[in-house]
Chains A and B, each alone.
Chain A
Amino acid sequence: MALLNARNLVVLATFALLALAPAYAAWVETPFYLDLGRRMMILAIGALSLNLIMGFGGMISFGHAVYIGIGAYTVGICAFHEVTSGFVQWPLALAISAAVALVFGVISLRTRGVYFIMITLALAQMTFYLGISLDQYGGDDGLTVYAPSDFAGLIDVDDDLSFYYVVFVLLALCLWFSQRLIRSRFGMVLQGARQNEGRMEAIGVPVFRYKLTAFVIAGTMAGLAGALLANHTDFVNPEMAHWTRSGDLIIMVLLGGMGSIAGPIVGAAAFLLLEELLSGVTEYWQVIFGPFLILVVLYARGGILGFLSRKDGGDG
């Protein structure tokens, strides 16, 4: 397999752009680009995690933003109670996301197809309303995070630039981890279960526990995105877990290329870029974005990366 095919070039270019964005932002004196790039990368981690279960495992979760919300709220609530150490906040965010994903997974993975979509959606909305009911933490107004996660001087999340590269490195790590995961024994079972679950059972694999594990891994990774997002916006609110946010993640995955490991990163970048450009044209930017998405789904089934490579196997 050629390493420098069109799809790998796009992934490399995306990473190069993200790596250089801070320099450009400083040059044109528009710190906003730094902000945009960081948001792209944080949501890319979320989309990457969704793609693990949706693209590779065939589990179309319509509630994946919940784990971002939980990760963010963990950091927010910790900060509210003056627990600002990142060494406590972040692992806790991952652990709680994982625990919730485990419970939600056990419930929702008993169903398939449309029912799975509906159950994940219902569980997500339940969690969303739980967030709204948390009056102590601002209810639907949300909660301002006054103090960023503190890593005892090791890394400075409060500094825009160093936080940017923290996110950059974490995204690269998540990509590397996904890459390994998909090509491992576990990844083969996950993809096999999507292609033909009955056959998977027939050759001797209890599929449920593997799907559940994938669901928990994806939820945990999204929880990380949440913890980052709380530090990015210095603010958390239930809206982060709203079903439309879950929809955005699905769109990012579709846009970049479902079933290609790096696709969601390109998808998240493209999504936010289009949102930015189009909302400059009109307040109702979705009017243009909607038809564009339809075209992508109709004519580029594998999303942007799939369109560029047009070949099988799909793990690049």
Chain B
Amino acid sequence: MAEPMMEIRALRKSFGGVVATDDLTLDVGAGELHAVIGPNGAGKTTLISQLSGALMPDSGTIRFDGRDITRMPPYARSRRGLARSFQITSIFPEFTALDNVALAVQAHDGHSFSFFRDVRREARLRDPARAALARVGLEARAEVTARYMSHGEHRQLEIAMALATNPKMLLLDEPMAGMGPEESGLMVDILKGLKGEQTILLIEHDMDAVFRLADRITVLVYGRAIASGAPEEIRASAEVRHAYLGEDETV
């Protein structure tokens, strides 16, 4: 088997007495959509933050695309092709949707010490940005100031910004958080469209979506991976049912 895109080994992170990530080991294969699920407080966002570099782990290693990135700052990871979306919408509210995405393209097109050229006339930024917006179905909203877009559109914009950096892997932190059923359906379609060509680590509460999308699922409880496997295996696992899905719940 080829080397996994991301290898997480014995990762640990605690805040005071609370262990948020407990000896976590996980592989994400190239082209795989790997979902991490778990109850609230299981340490899912803490995990993504460590992978993206916003938080430093206490111990353990993270390898990405054949390199140890454990101590790399966020921008350097992004440069190496690791893109993240945020659970809480994180965009540039005063820019238009197109500006938001074009800025993400710009961030991966060398340095930004260019002081005179009008950025909004640079086709090498605008064209890929429009393409990324089209992938998430926002092409018609390109010129709308981000602040005035709906919550669902913000989530789509987040994905477009991550895609625009031409990443090797996407870290998606609850892309469907706070969405209605219709918007979630749209997001599932977007992610389905990316599946296969992008390596994705997905954190999501929406079980329905997770079981429809994931190639593999890891279940996190109190920072510990209690199970990892194909969706059918996870669905069948008694331990998972007990710990997380609830005895009575059928999924």
Contact = CB atoms under 8 A, between A and B. Distances in A.
A277 to B, nearest CB: 35
Interface residues of A, number: 28
Interface string A173-184: 000000011011
B222 interface: no
A60 to B, nearest CB: 17
Contacts, number: 100
A195 B74 contact: no
Given A192-B103, A196-B90, A202 B84 contact: yes
Given A204-B165, A205-B112, A199 B90 contact: yes
B95 to A, nearest CB: 7
A213 B112 CA distance: 11
Interface string B67-86: 00000011100110001101
A183 B116 CA distance: 8
Contact of A206 (B54, B75, B114, B118): B75
A61 B84 CA distance: 32
B108 interface: yes
**Which bracket fits the contact residues of B?**
35 or more
Interface in B128-147: 145, 147
The 8 closest A-B pairs by CB, nearest first: A204-B78, A204-B107, A185-B114, A185-B112, A203-B107, A195-B92, A203-B104, A199-B90
Given A195-B92, A201-B74, A205-B112, 18 more contacts: A183-B119, A185-B117, A186-B115, A188-B95, A188-B103, A192-B103, A196-B91, A198-B90, A199-B86, A203-B103, A203-B104, A203-B108, A204-B75, A204-B78, A204-B79, A207-B75, A313-B145, A314-B94
Interface of B: 52, 54, 73-75, 78-79, 83-84, 86, 90-95, 99, 102-104, 106-108, 112-120, 122, 145, 147, 161, 165
27 contacts: A180-B118, A181-B116, A183-B119, A185-B113, A185-B114, A185-B119, A186-B113, A186-B114, A186-B115, A187-B119, A188-B95, A188-B112, A189-B103, A191-B92, A191-B94, A196-B91, A199-B90, A199-B92, A200-B107, A202-B74, A202-B75, A203-B107, A204-B104, A204-B107, A205-B75, A207-B75, A312-B145
